[in-house]
Structure 1
Amino acid sequence: MIDLTQKVLTDHLHYDDASGRLYWKKRKPGGPFCRDSHVNSWNTQRAGRPADAFVNKEGYRQVTLMRRNLLAHRLIWMMAHGEWPITIDHINGDGTDNRLGNMRNVDCLENSRNRPVQRNNSSGVLGVSWSKSSGKWIAAIKANGKTISLGSFDDLAEAAAVRAEANRLYGFHQNHGRTRAGKEVSGHE
């Protein structure tokens, strides 16, 4: 099996930084991916078309190359930097936005510090929940492997402000806890 090097990728894929998309390049006879008899057919059907049209269930663009399903953002990073990334963080939270300016190579911990509010979050604020027993908003943060209580509050806005300050103090990304596009969040009534 052929290794996916920077050269192999750039020989077969074109990256458009303005859109963050990958497109198939024309294939040449004698290339590693298809027999010479199939080159003209392949070029007619696919050359110049998006290689990353499929979006997987996790919301990331995917490319099938050498019978392998590969994440487009990882291929783009390799094409641009010549090395495979540890983990790609999409800064704006949109896994289909593969512009280089929207991606950063981080470890898993750093990537977890740029997450949106979970879909089942009723307060709309990451790390803030309603306590039925106390009738207050509870703020907490998980940092350095431990859950740290930040206090209980009568007001959701106050709990959210304390959590936002904790995010800053513990080095979380400024987008951490952002709301998902189109998500309606209902607080305690």
Structure 2
Amino acid sequence: MGRNEIVFHKNYAELILYDKQGNEKARTQVDLEDIEKINMYRWYENCGYAVARIKGKRIKLHRFVLNYKGSLEVDHINNNGLDNRKSNLRIVSHQINMTNQKTRSDNTSGVTGVYWFKTRNRWKAEITVNGKKYQIGYFKTKDQAIEARRKAEAQYHKNTVIRYSQRP
């Protein structure tokens, strides 16, 4: 099977990713400026990411488009591992990448680190920094707990994000 089929849109393109039988499995979004470089390889879907074998090594498309080989992680800002447009990618520490993960299915607030604490009949806010969990406090309203969590994120994580335009 040859290279991926490309569907062009006004501001981006989609690469169609196929399974081994040649059936469409997924589509990945990329910037138009990256098509020529990307189209040199055959990309496939693996665990929610676009991946190719390049010189015998498996490489993920988000690292490939940023040409990033460092030890930090490439985060998909919108949590869609198949949206590989550079405006959706940023180089971050593992700690920041974990704060941007999707909320758990049992989350009651919609915000990581904020949940209903039954025994106190309050909303609880907490944050994990370098593997250590810190309690921010208990609040009467969900909005108060979310605001406290956001302030803690700004305090603890303010200098740990490298945006694509700032990368070394």
Aligned sequence identity (%): 31
Q: How many Å separate the matches in 2 of 1:144 and 1:126?
A: 16
* TM-score, structure 1 as length reference: 0.56
From 86, 100, 104, give the equivalent of 2:86. Answer: 100
Whether 1:18 aligns to 2:32 is yes
| Alpha carbons 1:85, 1:105 under 8 Å: kept | no
1:111, CA displacement in angstroms?
2.4
**What's the secondary structure of 2:59's corresponding residue?**
strand
Q: How many Å separate the matches in 2 of 1:98 and 1:126?
A: 24
1:20, CA displacement in angstroms?
5.8
Q: Which residue of 2 aligns with 1:47?
A: none
Q: How many Å separate the matches in 1 of 2:151 and 2:136?
A: 10
| Alpha carbons 1:93, 1:116 under 8 Å: kept | yes
1:142, CA displacement in angstroms?
1.1
**Larger Rg, first or second structure (1 or 2):** 1
Q: Which residue of 2 aligns with 1:186?
A: none
1:115, CA displacement in angstroms?
2.6
Whether 1:158 aligns to 2:148 is no
2:104 partner amino acid: Q
Unpaired segments of 5 or more residues in structure 2?
1-29, 160-168
Paired residues in the alignment total 127
1:141, CA displacement in angstroms?
0.9
1:128, CA displacement in angstroms?
1.0
Whether 1:84 aligns to 2:84 is no
Q: Which residue of 2 aligns with 1:41?
A: none
Whether 1:70 aligns to 2:59 is yes
RMSD: 2.6
Q: How many Å separate the matches in 2 of 1:119 and 1:150?
A: 22
Over 3 Å counting, the alpha-carbon distance change for 1:19 and 1:158 in structure 2 is farther
| Alpha carbons 1:20, 1:98 under 8 Å: kept | no
Q: How many Å separate the matches in 2 of 1:90 and 1:139?
A: 25
* TM-score, structure 2 as length reference: 0.62
Unpaired segments of 5 or more residues in structure 1?
1-15, 26-50, 174-189
Q: How many Å separate the matches in 1 of 2:32 and 2:77?
A: 16
